[in-house]
Amino acid sequence: MAMESFNKRLLDEIKIKNSHLCIGLDINPEGLNNPNSSLEELKSHTFKVIDATRDLAVAFKPNLAFFERWGSNGFKWLEETMDYIGPETITIGDAKRGDIGNTAKQYAMSLFDHFGFDSITLSPYLGYDSIGPFVLQSNKGVFLLCRTSNSSAKDVQDLRLSSNQLLFEQIARLAVKWNKNDNIGLVVGATMPEEITRVRNIAHNLPMLIPGIGAQGGDLKKSMEYGNQNGIAIINISRGISFAGDLSEIAIRDSAKQFLEQMREYS
Amino acid sequence: MAMESFNKRLLDEIKIKNSHLCIGLDINPEGLNNPNSSLEELKSHTFKVIDATRDLAVAFKPNLAFFERWGSNGFKWLEETMDYIGPETITIGDAKRGDIGNTAKQYAMSLFDHFGFDSITLSPYLGYDSIGPFVLQSNKGVFLLCRTSNSSAKDVQDLRLSSNQLLFEQIARLAVKWNKNDNIGLVVGATMPEEITRVRNIAHNLPMLIPGIGAQGGDLKKSMEYGNQNGIAIINISRGISFAGDLSEIAIRDSAKQFLEQMREYS
């Protein structure tokens, strides 16, 4: 049986679930408004978010920093979170790794083999060596940072090259070139809708992972319209869902439903 | 008592120990020539390397990928490794993180507060937001990736900007600008000695962390000479020391001594 490529699986799942909603798992005591939250409480809230939204989300995106903050106990919580999500829903390990080939291999063993993520986020600064070990298996995917949602992204990503392109546009070109196994996508922030179009014009067929809606103030309508033109986009929401209302399962589900309905309206 | 800045502490330690030697802790079963190595064996080899070289090394640089490969048990091994090194010798967490501000804060809590590293490596692609949370305390340091030692570094880092500089030169300029607390250094690979000089001409006073000697074939003499002109440089050796000879404490110490003697000769 031929293995389905990651990008194909993502497209199929979007259609089956009629959902472009990616839910970021960035759970911390600050979000729970309780600086003394125990790891047990963080874990049980994580499971609550998963239970409340499993049928609505096309993907879950655990953010590794929020687990690493607690060291080995945090990684145990991540292992349990991956088990709890299970194999049905697509997982994106938001790790933003980027290292030389021999080290990249160890990270691939960590993220794909040990934790079992279906895909991860990577930084492009070290070039192809740092991507190669993650794209060998076509059923495992990579979302390469292209134009991020933070305000200082411009410090580096908007630098103008001698070719007259901006750096992030060249990264999009490289991603297209490196996408031999139909398993590379791009991260483009919702805070920069014009940049989504610029990237789309270069990378017609690459899926986009669009963060920056909610706390960061990105534009959902434009993100959906521009991101899904000539390709597919999934939209990440983290705090806007995980920490919705009174933090109950009902409040979390209601918020996820509202975002999903808006996305369906704009698609 | 005013806290000593990280860059000042590094300079002092180099003088006290008369050593520019940084020892990378990248321990895996492949290096031990035993694909079935247990985590206990990996840990005991790590401790052996530390015991054999503690008085010779100005810094130890655990590479997080090699620990993360084993999930929560790997992070436990890293916690024990940090305890074993103790507070006397400078530690560099080779993590190459780089994320938006709120996530960067969680990584800082992980690497500085939980694991207790004195300094870490960071990727510049997301701009100042991704550096800020790590440079607030002047006694904690950052080595920013500038020109790395891998062959595909050129894919991105050597892109020519409209200003006619190369991208890595602009990163060096940004690092100088961001170095308000005397705690930022740069990573420049030993495989590119000319690039070391180009970076030195921009960033006169920033410490350099120079990897790429040994397995990667970098030039030790030029790295020492160019890196230590108008500034200080530490030279990282990983596999060439950790996996020296018959893997005994004596072989490891002999290899570290040889590298250190060569460095002293070139300084």
Average pLDDT over residues A118-132: 98
Give me the interface pTM, i.e. the ipTM: 0.97
Band of the pLDDT at B267, cuts 50, 70, 90?
confident
| pLDDT at site B2 | 61
Q: pLDDT (tens digit, 9 = 90+) per residue, A200-230?
A: 999 999 999 999 997 778 899 999 999 999 8
Band of the pLDDT at A61, cuts 50, 70, 90?
very high
Q: Are B53 and B254 in contact (CB under 8 A)?
A: no
Of A8, A48, A76, A96, catalytic: A96
- Cα B241 to Cα B24: distance, rounded to the nearest angstrom: 9
Question: Is the pTM of the predicted complex or chain greater than 0.80?
Answer: yes
Q: Do B155 and A127 touch (CB under 8 A)?
A: yes
Strands (E), chain B: 21-25, 59-62, 90-97, 119-122, 141-147, 184-188, 208-210, 233-237
Residue A203 distance to chain B (closest CA, Å): 18
Residues in B closer than 8 angstroms to A109, CB to CB, are: 69
Q: Are B21 and B256 in contact (CB under 8 A)?
A: yes
**DSSP label at residue B122:** E
> For residue B246, what are the β-bridge partners?
none
Q: Do B126 and A148 touch (CB under 8 A)?
A: yes
Residue B177 known to be catalytic: no
Percent of chain B with pLDDT over 70: 99
CA Rg, chain A, in Å?
Answer: 18
Q: pLDDT (tens digit, 9 = 90+) per residue, A74-104?
A: 999 999 999 999 999 999 999 999 999 999 9
- Cα B181 to Cα B132: distance, rounded to the nearest angstrom: 11
Largest CA-CA distance found in chain A, in angstroms, rounded: 53
Alpha helices in B86-218 (DSSP H): 101-108, 132-135, 154-157, 167-178, 193-202
- Cα B225 to Cα B234: distance, rounded to the nearest angstrom: 11
Ranges of each domain in chain B: 6-266
- Does domain A6-21+92-261 fall into CATH 3.20.20.70? yes
Q: pLDDT (tens digit, 9 = 90+) per residue, B23-58?
A: 999 999 999 999 999 999 999 999 999 999 999 999
Q: pLDDT (tens digit, 9 = 90+) per residue, B119-172?
A: 999 999 999 999 999 999 999 999 999 999 999 999 999 999 999 999 999 999
**Helix (H) and strand (E) counts for chain A?**
12, 8
pLDDT at B13 over 50: yes
In CATH, which superfamily holds the domain spanning B6-266?
Aldolase class I (3.20.20.70)
Q: Are B139 and B115 in contact (CB under 8 A)?
A: no
Of B17, B76, B96, B105, catalytic: B96
Residue B147 distance to chain A (closest CA, Å): 9
Q: pLDDT (tens digit, 9 = 90+) per residue, B200-252?
A: 999 999 999 999 997 778 899 999 999 999 899 999 999 999 999 999 999 99
